[in-house]
Amino acid sequence: MERTNNPDNTSSTNNEGHPNSIRTYKLRGARITPAQEGAIERLGERFILSRAETDAPIDVREIFPHSKRRVLEIGSGMGEATAAMAEADPDTAIIAIEVHKPGVGSLLWRIEKSGLENVRIVHADVKEFLERGFTDESFDEIRIYFPDPWQKLRHHKRRLLQGEFIPLLATKLITKGLLHIATDWAPYAQWIQAEFEKVSEFVGGKVARPEHRPLTRFEEQGLTKEHEVTDFFYYKS
């Protein structure tokens, strides 16, 4: 069998999450590829940020003191959009949070391939990490692209964008900082609008797809299925 260096070539099994823990992501049980594992071994110490429970919050300005802007991307997936945006805008620093190890390895592979210096990764569940993981007002922008819509009604409690998590996002943004959300599931877009109407920390709404957000293979697959993609810009008030 021909060996591939494509980091996205993963196989998966059907693992279930712990029933006593409300997760906003699926435990895919994906098997990491040699290319992804190799990237973690070579680059993990340099590009993956770690923090013990007793450590002080990470100050992003200390990591990227000369960057014009600092961006947090929540759920970077396989890193396709992250790497493309980092390469297109080297003056912007990106911290990507991803819970799945294959995604971490894939993004590291892309970092190495493109010679990127303006990306760092946190391998963690964002809901567990965000509150104490970063100092407040660390970011000019937060990006959440295509979060799991959890389509079934009984799973709506697992949706990321709801409740106390929205005000928490605001604490990590500078004043008038941008929260950019994209989804290809129309009912979830309606849900997002309704949730943001309940809070006072943000103002904004639907926008046309911005040119700087790359069209990934994931989004292209959704468009072929006639999914309606919606972008939102919400600004911290």
Active site residues per annotation: 148
**DSSP conformational letter for 124:** S
Q: Which two tokens stand for residue 38?
A: 């190799």
**Both tokens assigned to 229:** 């993609």
The first and second tokens of residue 103, run together, are 């995604």
Is the CB of residue 135 less than 8 Å from the CB of residue 60?
yes
| C-beta of residue 97 within 8 angstroms of C-beta of residue 104 | no
The residues near 189 (Cβ < 8 Å, ≥ 6 apart) are: 183, 206, 228, 230, 232
Separation between Cα atoms, residue 14 and residue 7, nearest integer Å: 20
| DSSP bridge pairs for 235 | 178, 203
Q: Which residue carries 């919606």 as its tokens? A: 230
Tell me how far apart the alpha carbons of residues 142 and 85 are, in angstroms, rounded to a whole number: 13
